[in-house]
Chains A and B, each alone.
Chain A
Amino acid sequence: MDFLLDIKTAMLPEVIITFTILVCSVLCFMLKQEKQKFIYFISLLGVIISLISINLLAANKIFTGFYNSFSSDFFSILMRFLILSGTLFVIVMTKDYSFKFKHRQGEFYLLILIATLGGLLLSGANDLIMIFIALETLSLLSYALSGFLKKDKASNEAALKYLIFGGASSAVMLYGFSFLYGITGHTNLTEIIAYLTNNSSNMMFSFALLLTIAGFLFKVAGFPFHSWAPDVYEGAPVPVAAFLSTVSKVAGFAILIKFIGLAFNNTEAIGITLGLVALLTITVGNFMALNQVNIKRLMAYSSISQAGFVLIGFALLSYMGTSGAVYYLISYLVANLGAWLAITIFDTQTNKSLISDLNGIAYRNPYFATCFAVCLLSLAGIPVTVGFVAKFYLFHTIVQMGPAYLWLLIIALLNTILSLFYYLKVVKAMFVCKGADNGSKLNFNIGVLSTSFVFLTVLVVVLGVFVSPFINIARYSAVVIDNANTSAPVSVK
């Protein structure tokens, strides 16, 4: 009965999602095409119940499941919460969009739920095998989702590109895993850590770690593995793009933090490498975003550069840095979801995605434009939004690390100006540029989409004012990560 106990204490949300997946897959076959919308409600319900069930997990203790290959601690609970709430909004986004999927509506929810399951498992995975399985679950489903618009050329191209890049990076990651296993003789992370505390690390280990991290960098679209992102985001269905830039990224970061944790009491080389990767990610993302005319591509590059900011937190290889990264991740998730919701609403109703299509929309749809602007300004780091505080806190953590990290701070600061430029471009289009007189007026009446959009926008502002609880959460989860990696308790049931 140990096994069932594990499930109750550690993996309740996963179980609920699995159950929902089973129900949905049966319904997919049973329901007629016009009734497939029902699956939308079922999947929404499943995610909400799963979100509620997270609160039932004990946050202050570490529980393991599947014979120690899955561990549920405060950090993983936080990440699973973020992933599930991200999925919730992604599913909401499909409400009006799903007509594009024609007769395969039900499948879409099935795929997205399985991908979410992969993300959930990834954020608690504690074993190399588990990590690989979870990551591949997430990845394979993401490939399928990107190509979900079967008749659409761009969507097919996106899927193929994503698949090829993804396959290559998985191979690199597995190569790293094989080294890790070869050096330590274990696949369980806890035992790998235990091995590391007893043995001094060597170059080989750093090399293996870097290979592994490269695989995860692909998931979060970090430099130099970012080039798939713009094409995929542009070609994939909008909710899928939103899924990739939020849920999938959070899952990638969740496992990345765990692995970075391995390097905490390790070499400086990894810190410097990651720092460089982070800075290049931000800079490349920003420079490429400057001249974009398509809002989806702009958001793709923007989310590349935002990921770079999170990576900065990791590069500090310390408890402080991790907390900065976690807080930034929360702020990024909220604001980015809001921005993607805006794009979904706009894309669904007008079928356009150029920035110039947004011209003058503020005077036709003031609430839509204001909410979108708030989300974008949060990404740019303008007060009073959560993005401002997150940037401030991240820079604060960099400075607390002392003068050695001054280079990180300076380049990150300069990049904030760059990013401001293109976010303002969208805001300018909405508020300043003159639109066509007969420009399309969006339907922004009270509904699930508009409500959740406004909710996210309010959240962006509220989180920007009520700051301390979330900084405390970020700090606490960083402590948990820190403890897991330094004290190394080997507990085999």
Chain B
Amino acid sequence: MEFLSLNILIFAPLIVAGIILSPLFPNDEIIVRRFAKGFAGLLFIYSILFMIFFKPHEVGYQFKENIKLFSDANWIEPLGISLSFGVDGISIILVVLTTFLVMLALIASKKAITTKHKLYYSLILVLTTAILGMVTSRDLFLFFLFWELELIPMYFLISIWGTGKKEYSAMKFFLYTFFGSLFMLAGILALNYFHVINTGVSTFSIETLTYSRHYDIPFMFEALIFFGFFIAFAVKLPIVPLHTWLPNAHVDAPTPVSMLLAGILLKMGGYGLIRFNTQMLPEMIKIFAPILIVLGVINIIYAAFVALVQKDLKLLVAYSSISHMGFVLLGLGALNVAGISGAMFQMIAHGLISAGLFLVVGVIYLRTKTRTFSQLGGLGQVMPKAFYFTMLLALASLGLPLLIGFAAEVMIFYGAFTSDSLEGFVLSNQVMTGLAAISIIITAAYLLWMLQKVFMGNMFEKWQKTSDLTPHEAIALTFLSIPIVLFGLYPEGITSLFLPFVDNLVSHFTL
């Protein structure tokens, strides 16, 4: 086994979760937390090594792994299912984002989690395994398995440590995602079926079904497969009108879980859209690109307006998440290099920014026990550090130049504006881009108002003794700010990883 093994990266968190849960492990909060945090730090460093040794210009997967059981060539030989992992341009960056945010979420857990520490930290690590497995799997069955596996820890994390109507929210999250995933299951089985009747071999390998599919699937079925995948990812992304689980889940989840939910789990929707709907079914995405763009614009505008009228700080951030994920759709619908890499970049940018914003919301809630704007105000006087960080995050979120959000939005707007994927549609790409651009003003409005209502103005007497950021929170926010500034100044640092992948992807459309 080589030193850089994806197996270790994926399954180590699971093993550590088992160690933490085992009765032999001391049931002491500090030891459990430090152990988990230390491990997450190591995992992050380990994943960075993958990124360093990753060769962006090679087409296809790297660091390939294929675990075999018994003497079979595959994991489940009768069905042609393999336990195979690998990373390519778009998954390597999500792997690093995942380990990074897990580390920060664990750092932020100190104050937010007060009970059942062993269970909490092991569930977070199980979640890590599920997410890492999802982005690195080279097999549709495996992807689906991890997709479902992720629901279990998430359900418990929201329903046990959450606040408010946590059980309802957790159940809603679970059932929505499960509902979507069944459509994906049907799509996966249909892809396999057409492979079997055309080649006589049963396989679920993503590579085979993507690169060496030399037969045609009847149009109607291919469209159904496309929509099967699309619905699953639309729930996850989320796309209006399938978004209603998100505000509930975010508001009731504990802060670190919100960070992970917004930071990584929503990205799985975008990842799936690129990996399956775009890469695997290029013919279909050309036809259905208008739907993507229209839904994207609706997402952007609708969620921005809804965010504008929110009275709850966390709900505002949640709706801003939905609005920003609309950009991913807009970029994807452009079907050109700038658009798709913009979508990818937006996922990273939003992952960092929204995790930060949710952390700040958690910081404020922890101290004031309220998230209602009318109860807050003037906190900048007593929490200057929190104020600075929030301002940085909010400005990055609304797309201030030289911060990471700006780079993402510019790429997406450029891609969407120059694209001709809407040819023959009533509205041209340029009009749709213009519509989406309106949202920049709305976004600026609600984020700046948020800053004003929370941190500026007069302060209630009762917040006089509110303390500023603890070192833990400050460290987590600093860690988040570094890439936000760094890759805002130097976007190529990220884009160079997946640009060759996107180039290759787009070359299939233009053929």
Interface residues of A (CB under 8 A from B): 363, 377, 382-384, 388-389, 392-393, 395-396, 399-400, 402-403, 409-410, 413-414, 416-417, 420-421, 424, 428, 431-432, 465-469, 471-472, 475
Contact = CB atoms under 8 A, between A and B. Distances in A.
Contacts of A402: 193
Contacts of B171: 421, 424, 428
Contacts of A424: 155, 171, 174
B482 interface: no
Contact of A409 (B146, B160, B186): B186
The 7 lowest CB-CB distance pairs between A and B, nearest first, are: A399-B189, A383-B145, A413-B182, A467-B76, A471-B78, A432-B159, A383-B149
Contact of B185 (A382, A395, A468): A395
B192 A417 contact: no
Interface stretch (B67-75, B253-261, B262-270): B67-75
Among B76, B146, B179, B221, the one with the most A-chain Cβ atoms within 10 Å of its Cβ is B76
Contact of A471 (B76, B160, B170, B192): B76
B420 interface: no
Given A382-B148, A383-B148, A468-B76, A396 B192 contact: yes
A377 B149 CA distance: 11
Among B72, B145, B167, the one with the most A-chain Cβ atoms within 10 Å of its Cβ is B145
Contact of B156 (A393, A400, A431): A431
Interface in B130-162: 141, 144-146, 148-149, 151-152, 155-156, 159-160
Given A383-B145, A420-B175, A428-B167, A468 B78 contact: yes
Contacts of B145: 383-384, 388
A61 to B, nearest CB: 24
B116 to A, nearest CB: 8
B3 to A, nearest CB: 26
A377 B152 contact: yes
A370 to B, nearest CB: 9
Contact of A416 (B78, B79, B182): B182
Contacts of A420: 174-175, 178
Interface of B: 69-70, 72, 75-79, 81, 116, 141, 144-146, 148-149, 151-152, 155-156, 159-160, 167, 170-171, 174-175, 178-179, 182, 185-186, 189-190, 192-193, 196, 221
A383 B69 CA distance: 18
Given A382-B151, A396-B79, A413-B185, A421 B175 contact: yes
Contacts of A399: 186, 189-190, 192-193
Contacts of A389: 76
Nearest to B77: A468
Nearest to A393: B79
Contacts of B189: 395-396, 399, 409
15 contacts: A389-B76, A392-B144, A399-B189, A402-B193, A409-B189, A420-B174, A420-B178, A428-B159, A428-B167, A431-B156, A431-B159, A432-B167, A465-B69, A468-B77, A471-B79
B70 A468 contact: yes
Given A399-B192, A432-B159, A417 B185 contact: no
A203 B75 CA distance: 45
A461 B345 CA distance: 38
Contacts of A383: 145-146, 148-149
Given A377-B152, A420-B174, A468-B69, A414 B182 contact: yes
Nearest to A433: B167
A286 to B, nearest CB: 14
B149 A384 contact: yes
Contacts of B179: 417
Contacts of B146: 383
Given A396-B192, A400-B193, A428-B167, A466 B69 contact: yes
A257 B187 CA distance: 30
A77 to B, nearest CB: 20
A432 B156 CA distance: 8
A466 B69 CA distance: 7
Contacts of B221: 403
A468 to B, nearest CB: 5
Contacts of B190: 399
A413 B189 CA distance: 12
A230 B144 CA distance: 34
A475 B78 contact: yes
Contacts of B78: 468, 471-472, 475
Given A395-B189, A413-B186, A420-B175, A468 B72 contact: yes
A281 to B, nearest CB: 19
A431 B166 CA distance: 13
B141 A392 contact: yes
Contacts of A410: 186
Among A389, A395, A396, A466, the one with the most B-chain Cβ atoms within 10 Å of its Cβ is A396
Contacts of A409: 186, 189
Given A363-B116, A382-B149, 9 more contacts: A396-B192, A399-B186, A400-B193, A416-B178, A417-B175, A417-B178, A432-B167, A467-B76, A471-B76
A148 to B, nearest CB: 38
A465 B116 CA distance: 29
Nearest to B175: A417
Contacts of B192: 396, 399
A400 B79 contact: no
Contacts of B77: 468
A335 to B, nearest CB: 16
A456 to B, nearest CB: 19
B143 to A, nearest CB: 11
Contacts of A377: 152
A409 B156 CA distance: 30
B70 to A, nearest CB: 7
Contact of B75 (A363, A393, A467): A467
Among A382, A395, A402, A469, the one with the most B-chain Cβ atoms within 10 Å of its Cβ is A382
Contacts of B149: 382-384
Contacts of B174: 420, 424
Contacts of A421: 171, 175
Nearest to A415: B182
A468 B75 contact: yes
Among B146, B182, B196, the one with the most A-chain Cβ atoms within 10 Å of its Cβ is B182
Contacts of A432: 156, 159-160, 167, 170
A392 B78 CA distance: 13
Contacts of B152: 377, 382
A197 to B, nearest CB: 29
